[in-house]
Amino acid sequence: MEQVLQNLIIALRASGVRISVSESMDAMYAARLVGYENRQTLKDSLSATLAKSHREKEIFEASFNRFFSLDGFSDPETDSYRAPALEPNEEDAPLTQMLLSGDNTGLSMSMREAAQRADISGIRFFTQKNLYIQRTLQGMGLEGLDRDIRRLSKEDGASSRQKGSALKEARDLLFENVRNFVEQQFSLFAGSATREIIEKYLRNIRLSNLEQQDYHQMRAIIQRMVKRLNDLHSRRRKTSKRGWLDLKKTLRENVAYQGILFDPRWKAKKIDRPDIVALCDVSRSVEAVARFMLLFLYSLNEALARIRSFIFCSNLVEVSHVFEEYQVEEALVRLQRGFGLGIKFGGTDYGQVFQDFKKTWLDLLSNKTTVLILGDARNNYGNPQTDILGLIRERSRRLIWLNPEPPAFWGTGDSEMRRYLPSCYFVKECSTVNHLERVVDLLLRTQA
Amino acid sequence: MKHHRDQHFASIEDIQHGFEEAGYICSQQIATTLFLAYHLGKPILVEGPAGVGKTELAKTAATYLRIPLIRLQCYEGLDESKALYEWKYGKQLLYTQILKDKLNEFLEGAESLDASISRLHQYDDIFFSLHFLEPRPLLSALQREGGTVLLVDEVDKSDQEFEAFLLEILSDFQVSVPEIGTIRAISKPFVLLTSNNTREMSEALKRRCLHLFIPFPEPKLEREIIRVRVPDLSENLRGQLVSFIQQVRKLDLKKPPSISETIDWARVLVLLHASSLNPDLVRDTLNTFLKFEEDIEIVQEHLYDIAGKALREA
């Protein structure tokens, strides 16, 4: 039974539940304690020891039910296997005997064992299904069955012929059952492998090439990324520099103890929470990417307390409130259409945008602020106002520009990227989720 | 100390029964987890929406086992000096003042500095000993003879550092004090941690705990809970009330009503001598279980449907 439990754990891990060795040992002890008789109790116990979040509980629920659905060997149409009611012969192969006598349990056991020997828990890709079906069939002794069928077809007599055709039918049924079983195992063990591949693909594809259908998954990826980055960076952390005595502070603190130094104080290094001002281009030239940029900003907005978001096209408007008030879908539509925001969708005018920023929001900047600009710097040959960008750079801690175009296109046509370059702390191409993540990691790592 | 409590945890049914007598209806899942936690000697991390009885579970466990409950409420900035131990600075200071004179006497006759130092060495670290240690909730839970139920409430509100030093207590039931050494538990406390999921707990912490998720209860369970907690409510009205609340939870609300709010509402209905849920009565008392203006508006829109259905179902 412990082997079965091990397999369940493998299946759970494959579906994305993280289970450590100590947890699987706990599960083992728990199962020994409550016994295997009561299914519900066993399930509750394993759930308490193995699945440690709401999401994992859901996965566990599904996997457990699938794993322990001990459906016997049966005809998929009638849901039961009726033996052909023929006497097996001494010389028949074991598989033939089982099929003829209708030994459901034996067949089911033999199928599981054969699959186990074929190392079914190693299945990862749907292309491997046929291989595993073959291996399992062979493991059950298909050769013997085939030999019997051939032998019977050569023999004369009505009974042999009847037996032969019954065996052929049973053989089809056997194939059906093994295929179903392998399918089921595939969904148990390979669920996450396929998901991981898709996810990896999505992370590296250019944002502008993404399809609408991938959008949901993308949101999940971005959210996870923001959460991870946030966990890493957003908390105010005190890394105390042990060894450096803060003399002034120690004297102050210990006045209460008649100047006896009971409570030495050490110099501490504070890491600040990131403070971000984000400007996002939503003009037509970056339309495909803008959606994801906004999605990203939205997620960032949920995670970070101190972020002010702006969008621009011909002019600049603040949209922090939109992110707070609406659900993500509605917020994105509102931003891209500009409902009631006063944004003008003419040609992109970076010069005007910078002037707007200087006029109204320049006070937002301090020596702690990071300014983040998302856009392609295509200014329709207008005045680029590089000096204002320089001013923004001076007033803030850092200015980061994320450009969806690859560096080779910077400065071509109406792109002003090359002129903006000197004012930026750094400029990065940002066209895949992976780019985005790397950049944001840098962005949040605010040193003292 | 363990064996005379074994009878309380002899079987899952016993736990369910015992908790019911103490006024807490626990589902099979909860009872199983308690059973495992006791026999495996592991803490339980209880998660679930606010007001489903996470804290209550710990309180009832203490009542059931007849041992004291030590509660540690977590918040941002909680550190070991407030949760674990602190040195009694005042006492240390006082003692040094008093012993100053004693010290002269004691060192009399010592000829050189070396001699006096070596004499002092005979008495090592008097000031950093157990006498000067002020135990905070976690340490006192370990030191209490006869065991305790230790409730670390809303552990998700605490900082990551705090979580890190909880690990030692949760896995080994011991505390390391740098100046003294390791203090082991006299008797293992029964530990429950609750979390509202404002942030994900670390893998390390989860690994050391059994995990229990308490969802909103099924109608049957909720009726049972109301029966035990508000016995004065008529059976008919109880059915209507639970059906109503269950439907309200399905609406898209900012804060769906929890069990504690259902109980509040049941008490209100008893006070008002209500005999059945008529829409007017519901409208006047909505604010006992809905805590946001928007939520009240949403429910009012569907009020007649829900109340009608509740009356039919009960």
What's residue B33's pLDDT?
A: 93
Q: What's the pLDDT score for residue B1?
A: 44
Q: Taking CB atoms and an 8 Å limit, are B96 and A260 in contact across chains?
A: yes
Are A48 and B12 within 8 A, CB to CB? no
Taking an 8 Å cut-off on Cβ atoms, the answer to whether A53 and B93 are in contact is: no
Q: What percent of chain B shows pLDDT beyond 90?
A: 26
B211–chain A nearest CA distance, Å: 5
For residue A398, the SS3 value is: strand
Q: H/E/C letters for each residue in chain B?
A: CCHHHHHHHCCHHHHHHHHHHCCCCCCHHHHHHHHHHHHHCCCEEEECCCCCCHHHHHHHHHHHHCCCEEEEECCCCCCHHHHCEEECHHHHHHHHHHHHHHHHHHHCCCCCHHHHHHHHHCCCCCCCCHHHEEECHHHHHHHCCCCCEEEEECHHHCCHHHHHHHHHHHHHCEEEECCCEEEECCCCCEEEEEECCCCCCCHHHHHHCEEEECCCCCHHHHHHHHHHHCCCCCHHHHHHHHHHHHHHHHCCCCCCCCHHHHHHHHHHHHHCCCCCCCHHHHHHHHHHCCCCHHHHHHHHHCHHHHHHHHHHHC
Poorest-pLDDT segment among A137-151, A390-404, B106-120, B260-274: B106-120
| Pick among A9, A33, A47, A52 to test the B interface (most B CBs inside 10 A) | A52
Lowest-pLDDT range, A159-163, A190-194, A344-348? A190-194
pLDDT at residue A219 greater than cutoff 50: yes
Instruction: State the smallest CA–CA distance between residue B195 and chain A in angstroms.
Output: 11
- CATH homologous superfamily of B3-76+145-164+188-213 equals P-loop containing nucleotide triphosphate hydrolases (3.40.50.300)
Residue A366, phi then psi, degrees to nearest 5: -145, 180
- Measured between CB atoms, does B159 come within 8 Å of chain A? yes
Indicate if the pLDDT at residue A237 is higher than 90.
no
Distance from CA of A374 to the nearest CA of B (A): 29
pLDDT tens per residue, range A80-101: 566 666 666 767 778 888 887 7
CB contact under 8 A, B36 and A260: no
Instruction: From residue A232, give the alpha-carbon distance in Å to each of A139, A271, A306, A402, A440.
Output: 50, 12, 16, 22, 11
Q: Which residue has the higher pLDDT, A235 or A387?
A: A387
Q: Which of A67-76, A195-204, A287-296 has the lowest mean pLDDT?
A: A67-76
pLDDT in tens, B220-258: 999 999 999 899 888 889 999 999 999 999 888 888 899
Tell me whether residues A53 and B211 touch, CB distance under 8 A.
Answer: yes
Q: Give the closest-approach CA distance of A185 to chain B in angstroms.
A: 27
pLDDT higher than threshold 60 for residue A236: no
What string of H, E and C letters represents the secondary structure of A102-132?
A: CCHHHHHHHHHHHHHHCCHHHCCCHHHHHHH
Q: Indicate if the pLDDT at residue A196 is higher than 60.
A: yes
If you average pLDDT over residues A239-246, what whole number do you get?
Answer: 63
Q: Tell if the CB–CB gap between B32 and A44 is shorter than 8 Å.
A: yes
Beta-carbon pairs below 8 A across chains A and B: 72
Give residue A10's pLDDT. 84
Write down the pLDDT at residue A448.
32
Q: Cβ of B32 and A51 within 8 Å?
A: no
Contact A262 B197 (CB under 8 A): no
A257, B93: Cβ pair inside 8 Å? yes
Q: B39, B87, B211: which to substitute to probe chain A, counting the most A Cβ within 10 Å?
A: B211
B138-to-B67, B76, B209 alpha-carbon distances in Å: 16, 17, 17
Instruction: Compute the average pLDDT of residues B99-117.
Output: 79
Tell me the average pLDDT of chain B. 86
Is residue A444 over pLDDT 70?
A: no
User: pLDDT value at position B246?
Assistant: 92
The pLDDT of residue A70 is above 60: no
The more confidently predicted of residues A427 and A240 is A427
Q: What is the mean pLDDT of residues A339-350?
A: 83
| pLDDT computed for residue A78 by the predictor | 56
pLDDT of the residue at A288: 73
Query: Which one of A301-310, B112-121, B201-210 scores highest in mean pLDDT?
Result: B201-210
Query: Lowest-confidence range among A176-180, A437-441, B13-17, B87-91?
Result: A437-441
Lowest model confidence (mean pLDDT) among A144-153, A154-163, A233-242, B286-295: A233-242
Interface of A with B (CB under 8 A): 18, 20, 22-23, 26, 29-30, 33-34, 40-41, 44-45, 47-49, 51-54, 57, 227, 231, 235, 257-258, 260, 262-263
pLDDT at residue A171 in the model: 86
Check B40 against A235: CB less than 8 A apart.
no
Residue-level pLDDT at B71 = 93
Which of A42-46, A209-213, B120-124 holds the top average pLDDT? A42-46
CB < 8 Å to A23, chain B: 207
- The mean pLDDT of B296-312, rounded to a whole number, is 87
The predicted pLDDT at position B268 comes to: 93
What confidence tens digit (pLDDT) does each residue in A361-383 have? 888 888 888 888 888 888 888 88
Instruction: Decide if pLDDT at A318 tops 80.
Output: yes
Residue A264: is its pLDDT beyond 60?
A: yes
Predicted local distance difference test score (pLDDT) of residue B72:
92
β B85-87/B174-177 pair status: unpaired
Nearest to A26 among B35, B40, B212 (CB): B40
Query: Over the range B114-149, which residues count as b (16 or more CB within 10 Å of their CB) and which as e?
Result: eebeeeeeeeeeebeeeebbebbbbbbbbbbeebbb
Return the residue in B103, B207, B216, B252 with the most chain A beta carbons within 10 A, the one to mutate for interface testing: B207
> Is residue A447 predicted with pLDDT exceeding 50?
no
Here the tokens at position B182 are 């390791």
User: Which comes out higher in pLDDT, residue B253 or A188?
Assistant: B253
Helix (H, G, I), strand (E, B) or coil at A396: coil
| Strands A398-403 vs A369-374: parallel, antiparallel or unpaired | parallel
Residues of chain A above pLDDT 70, percent: 81
* Averaged pLDDT score across all residues of chain A: 79
Of A18, A26, A41, the CB nearest to B203: A18
Span A125-161, pLDDT tens digits: 778 888 888 888 888 888 888 888 888 888 877 778 8
The answer on pLDDT for A230 being more than 90 is: no
Chain-chain contact of B32 with A41 (C-beta, under 8 angstroms):
yes
Q: What is the pLDDT of residue A336?
A: 78
Q: pLDDT per residue over B143-194, tens digit each?
A: 888 889 999 999 988 877 788 888 888 888 888 888 888 888 888 899 999 9
pLDDT attached to residue B177: 85
For residue B61, the model assigns a pLDDT of 92
Q: Is the dihedral of CA A242, A245, A251, A255 positive or negative?
A: positive
Rg, Å, chain A Cα set: 33
Residues of chain B found within 8 Å of residue A34, distances taken between Cβ atoms: 12, 32, 35-36
For chain B, the domains span 3-76+145-164+188-213, 85-131, 219-313
Q: What is the pLDDT of residue A84?
A: 61
Please give the average per-residue pLDDT across A71-78, as a whole number: 58
For B29, the closest of A20, A29, A44 (CB atoms) is A44
Percent of chain B with pLDDT over 70: 98
**Is pLDDT above 70 for A317?**
yes
Number of H helices, E strands in chain A: 19, 8
Residue A77 has pLDDT above 60, yes or no: no
Beta strands in A272-396 (DSSP E): 275-281, 307-312, 316-318, 369-374
A49 pLDDT band, cuts 50/70/90, is: very high
State the smallest CA–CA distance between residue B311 and chain A in angstroms.
33
